[in-house]
Amino acid sequence: MIDLETVSYRNVLSELGISQEEQERRIQDAFQTIFFGPDKFCTEVPGDMAYILDTGNLDVRTEGMSYGMMMCVQLDKPRLFDKLWKWARTYMYQEGGRNPGTFAWSVDPSGVPNARGPAPDGEEYFAMALLFASHRWGDREGIFAYGEEARALLRTLIHQEDRGTGRNFWDRTNHLIRFVPEADFTDPSYHLPHFYELFALWADPEDRPFWKEAAEASRRYLQLACHPVTGLSPEYAAYDGTPWTRDQQRYGRHDWHYSDAYRTIANLAMDYLWFGRDRGETWHMEIAEKLRRFFLETVSHNPRGIYAVDGTELPGTALHPLAITATLAESAIASPEPLSGRAKRCVEGFWGSPLRRGERRYYDNCLSLFALLALSGRYRIW
């Protein structure tokens, strides 16, 4: 049994000599920029609702809505949390169709779905944010009975079959999350073993062994999906961890280290912070150091390029360069204490980087705020 009272939250920014006041100011500035400033991408609408806009694609995604809810619960913003959740529950939730009880992954700001299918990375973030809200603020009625909403969603994720293919969101044979319910491959950045450890404590009792095994299966999987030399992971990958090269006509190219994949190291760092560190695990640290070495030294001539997982440089430049900077900094959580070497250089580089402006600011600034929370010891289990 995990003792949550013993979880400690490393403050990497303090190790860098940054005061608590400076840390708090930077976090609050980022939050205000995202939700209220002139470059905001959160919009409040009538009916006590709000949505997060993907500024690059001009749609509302379960990814962004669940990210916004997690930010709110971490920073104790219950009214804004409720507005986001109400919009998601009103316009994204699906009563019927192929996947009832889930959320349409892309919806127009007007509330009309662009797609009917779910993307389970949104669902797992919704569930975690709701459980934290239940513990931090208490349950109310209806959709604001956060704990029951979360457990119902977790129930759906592992028991309900896609009505077209008969597949679950998680592959029941290997306990790995699918990219989408009908797919037979995964996305390494969807793997959140630190969430599954908590689902194993708070989901329906009969489902807790499944989530415990899912946590361990994802940890084994991430070690396969991250390249043994570079530490790079692909956007989509087969269940053996190799980059997914099939179905590119349908899904596009995703066998490279590109936008989705930047999140993988942040997820590894959070798993190390919440659980691996106290258990004395080292594999998170080893992967993180390989990735830092790759970007800081191997490709120092073009650290914001596009790369195959073996490090081969590909044409083009990163769509989200600040996301790379932010997640590399967050990887410093999985480094020896006190902060030094490449990990220190990554955090210093991130601390000196302003939030992004312009068309693509949504993804970069979301990952930047999460990095600030993690590096300051403010991304916590509630």
Please give the C-alpha separations between residue 278 and each of 17, 266, 282, 315, 334, in angstroms, as whole numbers: 24, 18, 11, 41, 12
Rounded Cα distance, 138 and 156, in Å? 23
Written as six digits, the tokens of 63 are 């990814």
Rounded Cα distance, 120 and 10, in Å? 29
The question of whether 286 is a catalytic residue gets the answer no
Q: Which of 15, 59, 63, 364 is catalytic?
A: 63
* Residue closest to 221 by CA, chosen among 274, 269, 264, 277: 264
| Residue 12 backbone phi and psi in degrees, to 5 | -65, -35
Residues 306/314, Cβ–Cβ less than 8 Å: yes
Buried b (16+ CB within 10 A) or exposed e, 311-350: eeeeeeebebbbbbbbbbbbbbbbbeeebeebbbbbbebb
Rounded Cα distance, 255 and 238, in Å? 10
Rounded Cα distance, 207 and 106, in Å? 29
* Residue closest to 162 by CA, chosen among 100, 246, 230: 100
Buried b (16+ CB within 10 A) or exposed e, 71-98: bbbbbebeebbbbbbbbbbebbbbeeeb
Q: Which residues pair with 103 in a beta bridge?
A: 93
Please give the C-alpha separations between residue 148 and each of 64, 170, 197, in angstroms, as whole numbers: 22, 21, 18
Q: Which of 260, 271, 330, 364 is catalytic?
A: 260
**Amino acid occupying residue 94:** Q
Rounded Cα distance, 362 and 63, in Å? 11
Q: Helix, strand, or coil here: 87?
A: helix
The angle at the Cα of 334, spanning 69 to 133, to the nearest 5 degrees, equals 20
The question of whether 213 is a catalytic residue gets the answer no
List the catalytic residues: 63, 260
